[in-house]
Structure 1
Amino acid sequence: MTLFQRRTPASLMGRTDVALNVLIGVPQTAAIAGGAALIALVDYRLMFAVMGALMVASALYLATRTWAA
């Protein structure tokens, strides 16, 4: 049993489950549609290069960041 199920009253379980599925499903569908539209406009190799550069920049930032206790 998940925390979601433990915290939700039984009478509201169906409604909250649908709301959670909408909150997860709609952005996922929008991301797929946005990615398809972006692929139509920009070469996929350029997008992979940009994503790779952003991942390297993020890794460098996290590797050099000083963590406060």
Structure 2
Amino acid sequence: MVATVMVEKLGLKVEDHPDPYQLTWLKKGNVVKVKHRCLVQFSIGTRYSDEVWCEVVPMDACHILLGRPW
């Protein structure tokens, strides 16, 4: 997942999600509708880089979330 704010600030291209759905675990007590996605390129250190399709959602805890928080 990627924060809406990050997508806007970096000018990433957004497209409609092919299978929209709702999340209930991201924001306590609220339902978040996932309607968009974008392809995000990222790197960890100097040796690893990749790109991943991320759902675009409003988040204030982080900019990108790779996996579900446990």
TM-score by shorter chain over 0.5: no
Considering fraction of residues, name the structure with more strand: 2
Structure index of larger Rg: 1
Task: Answer 1 or 2: which has greater helix percent.
Answer: 1
